[in-house]
Homo-oligomer: A and B are copies of this chain.
Amino acid sequence: MENNATEIPVHEVIRQIMDSGDHVSLPALLTDMHPADIAEALRRLDDEHQPVIILQLPAEQASDVIRELDDSTLERLLNNLSDHSIIKLLQELDSDDAADVVAIIDKERIPNILQALPEKDTIDLRTLLLHDEETAGGIMALEIVAVNQDSTAQDALQSLRSKRNEVDDVYNIYAIDRRGILRGLVSLKDVVLADPRAKLRDIMSTDVPIIHPEMDQEEVAHIFHKYDLVAAPVVDSANRLVGRITFDDILDVVEEETNEDVTMMAGITHEAISERSVFKLSWVRLPWLLVAFFGEVISAIVMKHFNVSSTKIIISAYFIPLIMAMGGNTGIQSATIVIRGLATGEFSLRDTGARLLREIGVALLNGLVIATLLFIVVTVWLKETNFGILLGFAMIFVLFMASFMGTIIPFVLKRINIDPAVATGPFITTTNDVLGLLVYFGMIHLFSQWL
């Protein structure tokens, strides 16, 4: 039993051992480490050190490490491994993990590698690779314990015994009919506790969620979360059992989708977190900056059009940041609530109207508070009562518009099947900046006689 929250940087120890040419200590150290800890050390090691470690490990332990690697580390590693080493690793992996590895290997190397694998593995891999990575088919495994629904609990345990080496984790036994159609499932606990002679059809649960291979992985995660599933079957359009998904795949999906949403909200792609090259990092972030850039050039054009600097109230420029910040923050607040609600399944498209009303109510209420404060600041500090009144009304209008856009845009994107998370960050902020400044200077222009 070990404390895994240790603060000693293992990869440093490994690097020192390797650099010192000590070939005895390394295997000893690695044998005692959990695959997940070796994976973490690999992530922090340089390209030349990585393959040495994998080649040191027995094939089974090496494949456990591979399963735990993130895509960017895995890619670096595979580039430095021979076809022969990769083939050995693939044979040890479950079909879904093997498919994840093949998806990352250089395209030119794949035919060679697949050719060298046993025919059954190749067929499995080709089947899995047909599915989009971000669907149920892309995360399912083909290794599964399925028995005829007329078998007894004892038969089921016998079948489990015969597959003990092939299937790592078993939570459910799947009950199928002669044609391979899924009829129900029994948890391992229930099989164990049942009368050994009981037929599966009499003890199985038929209340099984339907997951097809093409279902989006985020939707699969919702189903797992909603029904507290530890594992679930995947069926084709004829309800034939084709694979299974387990909770650990779902934890990966949730992390992946969260990274995707959060980074998209900030106008970056999720690869940005594990990426190491400054040029690539710069490249993935530039697009959103350019969107904002051209948006704010429009702001500049708006201001020139209204001839800002010659308006009676020359101080109008002082409040540009305030108008922008209040509109920007309000828009992001509304958009974030809608995006999270849609992501967790708490909101659906049906809620558009109700949510819109609520968000606008909040914006008007907050607008009133901010406008009052603003009026006080302008009157006390600059002694400009009329301008303070105008600024207050402009602020309320800007918040109203920002929350309207912030609420409606994610719903619209969802409806046209674009990830609503695109709607936050640079996109919505820039839109609100331009609209907010239009309102602000438009109002100053309109009421300039009165100021």
Contact = CB atoms under 8 A, between A and B. Distances in A.
A177 to B, nearest CB: 13
A311 to B, nearest CB: 10
A248 B226 CA distance: 10
A114 interface: no
Given A299-B321, A299-B322, A344-B255, A365 B279 contact: yes
A399 to B, nearest CB: 9
Interface in A286-343: 286, 288-290, 292-293, 295-297, 299-300, 303-304, 308-309, 314-315, 317-322, 324-326, 328-330, 332-333, 335-337, 339-341
Contacts of A321: 296, 299-300, 303, 320, 324, 433, 437
Given A1-B206, A267-B332, A318-B303, A226 B366 contact: no
A273 B161 contact: no
Interface string A198-237: 0000000011111000000001000111111010000000
Which residue among A4, A254, A369 has the maximum number of chain B CB atoms within 10 Å of its CB? A4
A144 to B, nearest CB: 14
21 contacts: A34-B207, A169-B187, A188-B192, A259-B340, A259-B344, A261-B262, A262-B265, A266-B332, A266-B337, A282-B366, A285-B362, A289-B329, A289-B370, A292-B325, A293-B326, A293-B373, A293-B374, A299-B318, A325-B430, A325-B433, A332-B425
B314 A309 contact: yes
A325 to B, nearest CB: 5
A268 interface: yes
Contacts of A424: 266
A230 B230 contact: yes
Number of copies: 2
Contact of A317 (B262, B289, B317): B317
Interface string A356-394: 001001100110011001100100000000000000000
Given A293-B370, A303-B318, A227 B36 contact: yes
Given A230-B230, A251-B254, A370-B293, A193 B164 contact: yes
A429 interface: yes
A263 interface: yes
Nearest to A189: B170
Given A228-B248, A251-B254, A293-B322, A160 B193 contact: yes
